[in-house]
Amino acid sequence: MGKAMRLHWLLLGACGWVLLILMFVSKIISFRAVDDYGGQSWTVPGTKVVKPIPVSSPEKPAPKPSDKPSEAPTATDWQAVVDRRAELLSAVCKNSSFTNLTHVSISKFVLDRIFVCDKHKILFCQTPKVGNTQWKKVLIVLNGAFPNVEEIPEDIVHHHDKNGLPRLSSLTPQEITHRLNTYFKFFIVRDPFERLISAFKDKFVKNPRFEPWYKHDIAPAIIRKYRKSHRDSEHAASGLHFDDFVRYLGDVEGRQRMDRQFGEHIIHWVTYAELCAPCEIHYSVVGHHETLEQDAPHILKAAGIDQLVSYPAIPPGITRYNRTKVEQYFSGISKRDIRRLYARYQGDFHLFGYPSPDFLLN
C-alpha cells in the first residue's frame, strides 16, 4: 500500500514538471514570434535598439549605377535645337497677331546694341542681364586687346571708349548693310520675367558697379508716379519696390515719356525685340541662358573661333531657371499688374519658346 502511494506521487510530480516545461517553451515561442514579425521588442533600458538588416530578394537584385556619365549632346544634336529655335522665331515673326510686339525698325538704338568684330566677321547684339559681360570679354580677346578673358579688368569691359569694341552704329549705311548680310550674328535670351528680376536686383538693390542714377534719378521718378503711398516719406525713402517696377513696366502710355527721360539706361529691361530686332535681322544663332553650357561652345564653333578663345567658366546652377524665385517676387503683386506686364513681354515669350507664366496669371 505504501509502495503504491509513493508511485502515484512520483507520477504526479513528473506530470507537473512536464507541464512546467511545456509552459516555458510556449512562452519562448510567443516572445520570439512577436519579435520576428516586427512587433514590440523587449530590451534592457539604456541599450541601443539595432534593427535587423533586411535581406535583399535574390530574384530582384538592386540596380547598379551606370559606369558611364551622361553624355553631352553632340554638335549635330545641338544644331537641331538651334534650327528649331530659328523656325519658331520665323513663324512668330510672320504671325500678324504679334506684329506690334515683335517688329521694330533697325534704328540707331538697335545698331548701338550690336558690337562688331571685323577680324572674325562677327556681330553680337547685347541683351543685358543675360550674361553679356562674358561675351563682351570673348569679343575683346578676339579683337586682340587682351590675350585671354581672365586678364580683362572688369571696369574695361563696360567702358565702351576703352574696350575696343566698335558698335554697328559707328559705320556707314553701306558698311552696316554689308555686315548684316554677311557676318555671323548672335545674341542670348533668358526667361523674360526672370530677366526683369535680375535687372531689378542689379540696378536698384545691389548696384555693384555703382551706377547712382538708378537709385537717385530713375527710382524716385518711378516711385512718384507708380507708388500709391509715395507721399509717405518713410515708404518713399525705402527705395524702389518690385511692385513699383512692375507697375511702371506694364504702363503702356505713361511709361514711354519716362523712358525718353531715362535714356539708354532702359536697355536692362526693354524687350529683346526692341534691343535686337530679330524679325528684321536674320541672326545665325539665338542662344538661351538656361542652356548656356551647350550653347556657348556651339556658338564658338559655329562662328569658327572655338580654337582661338574659350567662354569663361560657368558657375554651377547659375543658368538654371528658378521658378520659386519668380513666384516669390510676384507673390504680392496684383493679377492685373502681372497681366499688363505679360502683355508687354508676350512677344519675347512667343519668339523664343518660353511658356507663358500661367502660374502667375491665373
151 lies in which domain range?
A: 75-351
Secondary structure letter of residue 167 according to DSSP: B
User: Could you tell me the pTM of the whole model?
Assistant: 0.77
Q: Is residue 258 part of a domain?
A: yes
Residue 337 has pLDDT above 60, yes or no: yes
Q: Is residue 38 part of a domain?
A: no
DSSP 134-147: HHHHHHHHHTTSSS
d(CA 199, CA 214): 11
Residue 15's pLDDT band, with cuts at 50, 70 and 90, is: low
**Any residues with CB less than 8 A from the CB of 212 and at least 6 apart, and which?**
none
d(CA 357, CA 327): 10
The grid coordinates of residue 26 equal 510556449
For position 12, what pLDDT does the model report? 53
How far is the CA of 69 from the CAs of 72, 169, 248, 295, in angstroms? 9, 47, 47, 20
Q: Is residue 63 part of a domain?
A: no
Q: Is residue 172 part of a domain?
A: yes
Q: Is residue 52 part of a domain?
A: no
Centroid of chain to Cα 38: 47
d(CA 193, CA 329): 10
Q: Is residue 237 part of a domain?
A: yes
Q: Is residue 298 part of a domain?
A: yes
Round to the nearest angstrom and report the end-to-end CA distance of the chain: 104
Mean of pLDDT values over 28-55: 31
When the pLDDT of each residue in the chain is averaged and rounded to a whole number, the result is: 81
Mean of pLDDT values over 330-344: 96
Write out the H or E segment, with its range, that includes residue 105: none
> Structural domain tally of the chain?
1
d(CA 132, CA 143): 17
Residue 357's pLDDT band, with cuts at 50, 70 and 90, is: very high
pLDDT (tens digit per residue) in 181-207: 999 999 999 999 999 999 999 999 988
For position 159, what pLDDT does the model report? 79
Residue 326's pLDDT band, with cuts at 50, 70 and 90, is: very high
Q: Is residue 62 part of a domain?
A: no
d(CA 268, CA 110): 14
Phi, psi angle pair for 186, to nearest 5°: -155, 160
